[in-house]
Amino acid sequence: MLRDEIWQARVDLAAAYRLANRFGLNEGIDNHFTLMVPGSRDRFLLNAFGLHWSEVTAGNLLVVDAKGKVVEGEGEAETTAVCIHAPIHVSNARAACIMHTHMPYATALSMIEGGRLEPASQTALRFYDEVAYDEEYNGLAMQTDEGERLGKVLDGKRILLMANHGITVIGGSVAEAFNDLYFFERACHVQFIAMQSGKALKKVPTQIAQSTFSGIDPNRHARLHFEALKRVLDREEPDYAQ
């Protein structure tokens, strides 16, 4: 039933908020994850602005329309969340779930002139040719035309590294988007550790970089990883699903 699908969507998105908090991927009460409401193309789930991510539950998520109006739930839809996410959701069928964070290592990479995730670790190869780079920082995203611009820069990729800002990840499900968010930060982290040595990065040859993950089902891996993480929450923070 659609009602069950919608509740499961709420549970999954709440889990992602809790997990991001556990892994230090969020920043205060800022940043935002959204998920299209099952059966809709113009309404999405979003956390109420002002809640700490450790407080987010399936039941207190808002339903917001493409213009930023709260149509279900109590609380405020933060402006930059609407302006970044809504245009991408509407224009990109691949973007059922969108996650935007200022997670530290990815954000640090966005601060470097010409910063790129290099094909120098196995984890980084998950994202080979799937990262778009926005080289323009335009301040706070307070208008939807900024979200429209970012959607064009994304240009079919799964990851958008936003200059001087952070990262936006899109996925067909919460599991897919969170898996990419988690592993992208891990890849950035080990790249910075290697860079601190002062020695040149040993990059993987292009042919191997292109083929390493070609035989792997990323959606299955994402689903299994996310289910494992939710089992941790079920034991330690079960209220997320309320």
**DSSP per residue, 10-29:** HHHHHHHHHHHHHTT-SBTT
Residue 148 CA to residue 69 CA, distance in Å, equals 18
Identify the pLDDT of residue 189.
98
For 3, the 3-state DSSP assignment is helix
The strand pairing partners of 45, in sequence order, are 35, 63
Alpha-carbon span 98 to 95, nearest angstrom: 6
The span from the first CA to the last CA of the chain, in angstroms, equals: 19
Burial-class residue 104 by CB neighbours within 10 Å (0-12, 13-18, 19+).
middle
Query: CA 117 from chain center: how many Å?
Result: 16
Residue of 107, 106, 67 whose CA lies nearest to 85: 67
Question: What's the confidence (pLDDT) of residue 137?
Answer: 94
pLDDT of residue 218: 87
- The SS3 assignment for 239 reads helix
Dihedral, CA atoms, 90, 94, 97, 103, nearest 10 degrees? -110
* Separation between Cα atoms, residue 237 and residue 242, nearest integer Å: 10
Tell me the pTM.
0.96
Q: What is the pLDDT of residue 185?
A: 98
CB 98 within 8 A of CB 177: yes
Profile the chain (242 residues) by mean pLDDT over runs of 10 residues.
Answer: 92 98 96 96 96 98 96 96 95 95 98 97 97 94 91 95 97 98 98 97 96 90 98 98 98
